[in-house]
């Protein structure tokens, strides 16, 4: 879609023109500006930037032709987007979004935040950054400072230790009677096409699905989980990024998001964005499959903020609820022979099936089927989980 080429001094004239054109197209060129003087100043500054080791200046090329300017600074603590301008001819083609998600991938791989500043009077850019998950962290003059930290957060939540202990070959979620029906049903729903797993993790489902002949790709934010996947499979293409926003190359007949993972997105807005992102990866009539637990709100008497989900030798699962924000924190207590226990906690936003259907509707899907599991057990009022299949209409 685009290429980045390090800028040279001879590009300075083009870079000045592209900034002028982009700013003019947005109606944000200062009135009465002396363009000749401005151009000369900008060219001189670009020459300095080309030689500045603290910053990287690029020409954005689209269809092998110069079409934009990008300036990025990298330190051990942060990746900073200092400026991005695209010529009006190539705007509204998703190129800006693709460049920013590529920088998000870089920041995630380096385990640092991605930061930028945006003028407060630039609503289009602010909307884009908000949609891509940036949060305001400060102000500098007429600009807001925005930061994206989701990669760092997921790398912390799903770190190397968690990733190393995630796979439990042949038992629990890796048991043949769990994986078998999951893979069979997903293969059937892919209907001979390509599948994309959102939050592919260590490939618990994707690896056996690929072994059953379905071409599978993935999106994943934790590089530690991805490293673990790579110990088992080095061919499944995976885009490092947020499943609510990242575009994986290709078109698919099936997108799937299993093991309750849509609840890892902590706002309704992000969950709706996730549906929309599934829709844009699908060919017409394609399917989005979600496996999700039914919130156990009926087990919460008034005044009791927690439920015990599992209490078995060596493991207790305690869920604490914030019913106003629709948040639940799962507390996983693991213990052995002695008195000491290890606690791991994961935050979720829970979703009632009806709300999930409405999110699907907002993204252009209709519910094709809902079962209590992957084997087609009917979904009833007492079901604790569901496999919902949405079809792009």
Ligand X SMILES: C[S@@+](CC[C@H](N)C(=O)[O-])C[C@H]1O[C@@H](n2cnc3c(N)ncnc32)[C@H](O)[C@@H]1O
Q: Which of 201, 208, 286, 295 binds ligand X (CB under 6 A)?
A: 201
Q: Choose the stretch contacting ligand X; rule: CB under 6 A; options: 106-114, 258-266, 302-310, 335-343.
A: 258-266
Query: Does residue number 259 form part of the binding site for ligand X (CB under 6 A)?
Result: yes
- How many residues touch ligand X under the rule CB under 6 A: the total is 20
Residues 235-254, one symbol each (x = binds ligand X by CB under 6 A, - = not), give: -------xxx----------
Q: How far is the CB of 135 from ligand X (least distance, A)?
A: 14
258 touches ligand X (CB under 6 A): yes
144 phi, psi to nearest 5 deg: -95, 140
Q: Binding ligand X by CB under 6 A: which of 204, 348, 349, 386?
A: 204
Out of 263, 264, 271, 388, point to the residue binding ligand X (CB under 6 A): 264
Question: Of 68 and 113, which has the nearer Cβ to ligand X?
Answer: 113
Euclidean distance between CA atoms 280 and 299, whole angstroms = 37
> Which sign, positive or negative, has the C-alpha torsion 117, 142, 66, 96?
positive
Q: Which of 49, 154, 217, 263 binds ligand X (CB under 6 A)?
A: 154
Query: Is 222 strand, coil or helix?
Result: coil
**What is the footprint of ligand X within residues 205-234 (CB under 6 A)?**
205, 219-222, 225
Residue 319, interface with ligand X (CB under 6 A)? no
Tell me if 158 contacts ligand X by CB under 6 A.
yes
Q: Minimum CB separation from ligand X for residue 228, in Å? A: 9
> Which pairing describes strands 195-198 and 216-220: parallel, antiparallel, or unpaired?
parallel
107 binds ligand X (CB under 6 A): no
Q: Does 79 bind ligand X (CB under 6 A)?
A: no
The answer to the question of residue 144 lying near ligand X (CB under 6 A) is no
**Nearer of residues 96 and 201 to ligand X, judged by Cβ:** 201
Would you say 222 or 253 has its CB closer to ligand X? 222
Nearer to ligand X, 71 or 348 (CB): 348
Q: How far is the CB of 342 from ligand X (least distance, A)?
A: 18
Structure tokens at 260: 């309750």
Judge contact between 260 and 359, C-beta under 8 A.
no
Q: Which tokens in the block code for residue 332?
A: 């996983």
Please name the residues in contact with 189: beta carbons below 8 A apart, sequence gap of 6 or more.
254, 256, 287, 289, 389
Closer by beta carbon to ligand X, 42 or else 259 = 259
Is the distance from CB of 289 to CB of 373 less than 8 angstroms? no
Q: Which of 200, 196, 144, 359 is nearest to 267 (CA)?
A: 359
How far, in Å, CA of 209 to CA of 182, rounded?
A: 9
What's the min distance (Å) between Cβ of 37 and ligand X? 46
Smallest gap from Cβ 389 to ligand X, in A, equals: 17
Is the backbone of residue 220 left (phi > 0), alpha (psi -120 to 50) or beta?
beta
Of 129, 128, 147, 149, residue with least CA distance to 137: 147
Burial class, 327, CB count within 10 angstroms (exposed 0-12 / middle 13-18 / buried 19+): middle
Return residues touching ligand X (CB under 6 A). Answer: 154, 158, 199-201, 204-205, 219-222, 225, 242-244, 258-259, 261, 264-265
């Amino acid at each position: 879609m685009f290429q980045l080429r390090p800028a040279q001094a001879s590009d300075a004239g083009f870079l000045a023109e592209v900034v002028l054109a982009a700013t003019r197209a947005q109606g944000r060129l200062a009135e009465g500006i002396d363009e000749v003087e401005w151009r000369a100043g900008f060219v001189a500054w670009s020459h300095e930037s080309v030689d500045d080791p603290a910053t990287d200046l690029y020409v954005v090329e689209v269809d092998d032709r110069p079409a934009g300017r990008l300036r990025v600074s990298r330190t051990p603590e942060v990746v900073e987007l200092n400026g991005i301008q695209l010529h009006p001819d190539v705007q509204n083609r998703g190129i800006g979004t693709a460049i920013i998600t590529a920088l998000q991938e870089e920041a995630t791989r380096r385990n640092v935040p991605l930061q930028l500043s945006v003028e407060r009077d630039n609503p289009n850019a602010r909307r884009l950054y908000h949609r891509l998950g940036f949060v305001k962290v400060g102000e500098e003059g007429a600009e807001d400072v925005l930061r994206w930290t989701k990669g760092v957060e997921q790398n912390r939540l799903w770190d190397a230790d968690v990733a190393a202990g995630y796979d439990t070959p042949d038992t629990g979620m890796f048991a043949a009677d769990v994986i078998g029906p999951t893979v069979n049903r997903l293969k059937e729903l892919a209907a001979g096409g390509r599948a994309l797993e959102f939050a592919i993790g260590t490939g618990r489902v994707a690896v056996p699905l690929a072994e059953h002949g379905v071409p599978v790709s993935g999106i994943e934010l934790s590089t530690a989980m991805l490293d673990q996947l790579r110990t088992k499979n080095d061919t499944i293409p995976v885009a490092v990024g947020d499943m609510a926003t990242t575009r994986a190359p290709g078109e698919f007949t099936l997108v799937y998001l299993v093991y309750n993972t849509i609840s890892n997105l902590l706002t309704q807005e992000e969950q709706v964005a996730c549906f929309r992102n599934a829709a844009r990866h699908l060919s017409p009539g394609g399917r989005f499959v979600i496996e999700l637990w039914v919130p156990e709100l009926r087990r919460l008497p008034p005044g009791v903020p927690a439920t015990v989900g599992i209490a078995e030798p060596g493991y207790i699962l305690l869920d604490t609820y914030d019913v106003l924000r629709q948040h639940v924190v799962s507390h996983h207590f693991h213990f052995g022979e002695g008195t000491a226990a290890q606690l791991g906690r994961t935050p979720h936003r829970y979703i009632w099936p009806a709300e999930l259907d409405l999110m699907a509707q907002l993204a252009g899907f209709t519910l094709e089927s809902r079962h209590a599991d992957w084997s087609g057990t009917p979904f009833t009022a007492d079901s604790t989980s569901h496999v919902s299949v949405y079809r792009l209409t």
